[in-house]
């Protein structure tokens, strides 16, 4: 089959995976998007039951429901393992698939006995491409609720990005051009679902330049007030060892310091409000998220605050990712250190792991 054909399968996904194994269907790329952050209350449906039967079982016999979900997860992973052995690339979508599968006793642990056998999408894709460079889902809401205001912000953001993309270093130019295309087509693709709001991937430089241009337009009376924010799924705001920080390989991904430091820092650097919360896509107790909102009202005070706010909100996370020795984050923080004379970030001393192993073996 060629071209842009999408096929929806109505039924249990494990039936489908097992059928693909039995019929020897080649799959290039696989993932799972069930709601496994919530496995016992409808996020994942067990095999062998209709939708209604599952819902009844969930309510009347939750223990049995749990056993059936876990048995299904073991079969789910077995089918994926077979297709992986035949050449499929599989990644965790950030829905706790690998975590819940491991808890169910599925064969999903790597040979070292510590890691999962498959990467998360942040490890292989989003981390090195976006978060380590500081690109993440910057967002804003037009407090006026006016579609015209949103159109104005789209135009301002596109003008700013176009200018930045023209000057961007090679390693982030494609990222900038993609983001520019996104914002240029946002209105025609009708991405507004409620309030007049946008999400646009941008790095610290982009976020500051866009916010400043918004604030100036508000000051000139061309635009109503705008509230800035970002998703928790971002560079600095979230500690989540199975998702946002899953590509932190120095052992510190199981700490939750970054989100807390970030939210507290944002609270006195200029945020109008901050939030510190648990949960999110990987489940309760598995993640800490820090968020903020910041009102732009066109004032010179907002202009001062926005730079301080957005600069540290993003660069905190890049610094942490650089301490973890992520190559892209090291490049990004070195670039930022050159650009910003007031910034102080300790850089990690990179050592040859084999040398450390040898010294450890000799002395300990
Ligand atoms: N990577 C990301 O950026 C990202 C973004 C959003 C959400 N997520 C995570 O992805 C997951 C899905 O999010 P969503 O908003 O689409 O959730 P959702 O609950 O709207 O959709 C999940 C769907 O899976 C279906 N399902 C459950 N078990 C099934 C089974 N065995 N076979 C077939 N279908 C089954 C459910 O009926 C439901 O329709 C969540 O865990 C969420 O946290 C990740």
Average pLDDT, the chain: 95
Mean pLDDT of 105-131: 94
- DSSP type of residue 346: P
Instruction: Looking at the CA of residue 36, tell me the nearest atom of ligand 1.
Output: 41
Which residues lie with the beta carbon below 6 Å from any ligand 1 atom?
Answer: 12-14, 33-37, 44-45, 93-95, 121, 233, 281
**Mean local confidence (pLDDT), 313-324:** 96
- Mutual orientation of helices 147-167 and 204-219 as an angle, nearest 10°? 140
Q: Tell me which CATH homologous superfamily contains domain 13-118.
A: Urocanase like domains (3.40.50.10730)
pLDDT tens by residue, 173-190: 999 999 999 999 999 999
Q: What percent of the chain has pLDDT over 90?
A: 87
Domain ranges of the chain: 13-118, 127-339
Name the residue with the closest Cα to ligand 1, atom 14: 35
pLDDT over 60 at 322, yes or no: yes
Residue of 55, 95, 97, 233 to mutate, ligand 1, most atoms within 8 A of C-beta = 95
Region 98-123: mean pLDDT is: 95
Position 191 pLDDT exceeds 90: no
Q: What is the b/e burial string over 306-324, where b = at least 16 CB atoms within 10 angstroms of the residue's CB?
A: bbebbbbbbbbbbbbbbbb
Which among 69, 82, 78 is positioned nearest to 34, based on CA atoms? 69
Q: Is the pLDDT assigned to residue 1 strictly greater than 60?
A: no
What whole-number distance in Å separates Cα of residue 100 and Cα of residue 106?
9
Q: How far is the CA of 102 from the centre of ligand 1 (A)?
A: 18
Q: What pLDDT shows up at residue 361?
A: 87
Kindly state the average pLDDT of the residues 60-89. Answer: 98
The 10s digit of each residue's pLDDT in 193-240 is 789 999 999 999 999 999 999 999 999 999 999 999 999 899 999 999
Q: Decide if pLDDT at 133 tops 90.
A: yes
pLDDT band at 310 (very low <50, low <70, confident <90, very high): very high
CA–CA separation, 149 vs 126, rounded Å?
31
Tell me the best of 35, 57, 100 to mutate to test the pocket of ligand 1, counting ligand atoms within 8 Å of each CB and taking the most: 35
256 or 101, which is more confident: 101
Cα-to-centroid distance, 43 and ligand 1 (Å): 7
pLDDT(331) > 70: yes
Question: What's the confidence (pLDDT) of residue 16?
Answer: 98
For residue 349, pLDDT over 60 is answered with yes
Task: Note the CATH number of domain 127-339.
Answer: 3.40.1770.10
Residue 293 class from Cβ within 10 Å (0-12 exposed, 13-18 middle, 19+ buried)? Answer: middle
Using CA atoms, how far residue 117 sits from 61, 75, 246, in Å, is 32, 16, 13
On whether the CB atoms of residues 226 and 140 are closer than 8 A, the answer is yes
Please report the pLDDT score of residue 2 as a whole number. Answer: 65
Mean pLDDT computed over 79-90: 98
Average confidence (pLDDT) over 283-308: 95
Q: Which pLDDT score is estimated for 136? A: 97
User: Quick one: what percent of the chain has pLDDT higher than 70?
Assistant: 99
Ligand 1 atom closest to the Cα of residue 35 is: 41
**pLDDT at residue 11 tops 90:** yes
Domains 13-118 and 127-339 share a fold: no
Q: Which residues contact 76 (CB under 8 A, 6 or more apart)?
A: 13, 14, 17, 32, 101, 106
């Amino acid at each position: 089959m060629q071209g842009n054909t999408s096929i929806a399968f109505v039924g249990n996904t494990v039936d489908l995976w097992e059928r693909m194994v039995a019929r020897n269907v080649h799959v290039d790329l696989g993932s799972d998007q069930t709601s496994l952050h919530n496995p016992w209350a409808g996020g994942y449906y067990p095999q062998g039951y209709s939708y209604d039967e599952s819902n009844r079982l969930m309510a009347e016999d939750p223990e049995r429901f749990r056993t059936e979900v876990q048995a299904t997860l073991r079969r789910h992973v077995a089918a994926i393992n077979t297709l992986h052995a035949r050449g499929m690339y599989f990644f965790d979508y950030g829905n706790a698939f690998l975590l819940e599968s491991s808890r169910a006793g599925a064969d999903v642990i790597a040979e070292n006995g510590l890691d999962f056998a498959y990467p998360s999408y942040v490890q292989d894709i989003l981390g090195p491409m976006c978060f380590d460079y500081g690109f993440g889902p910057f967002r804003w809401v037009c407090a006026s609720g006016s579609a015209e205001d949103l159109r104005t912000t789209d135009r301002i953001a596109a003008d700013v990005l176009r200018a930045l993309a023209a000057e961007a270093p090679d390693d982030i130019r494609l990222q900038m051009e993609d983001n520019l295309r996104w914002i240029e087509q946002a209105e025609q693709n009708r991405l507004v679902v409620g309030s007049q709001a946008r999400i646009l991937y941008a790095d610290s430089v982009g976020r500051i330049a866009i916010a400043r241009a918004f604030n100036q337009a508000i000051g000139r009376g061309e635009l109503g007030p705008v509230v800035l924010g970002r998703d928790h799924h971002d560079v600095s705001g979230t500690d989540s060892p199975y998702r946002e920080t899953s590509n932190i390989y120095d052992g510190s991904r199981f700490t939750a310091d970054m989100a807390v430091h970030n939210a507290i820092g944002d609270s006195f650097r200029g945020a109008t409000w901050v939030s510190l919360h648990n949960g999110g896509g990987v489940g309760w107790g598995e993640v800490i998220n820090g968020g903020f909102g910041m009102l732009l009202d066109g004032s010179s005070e907002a202009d001062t605050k926005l730079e301080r706010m957005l600069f540290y909100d993003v660069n905190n996370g890049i610094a942490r990712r650089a301490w973890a020795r992520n190559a892209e984050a090291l490049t990004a923080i070195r670039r930022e250190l050159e650009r910003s004379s007031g910034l102080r970030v300790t850089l990690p001393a990179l050592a040859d792991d084999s040398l450390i192993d040898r010294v450890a073996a000799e002395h300990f």
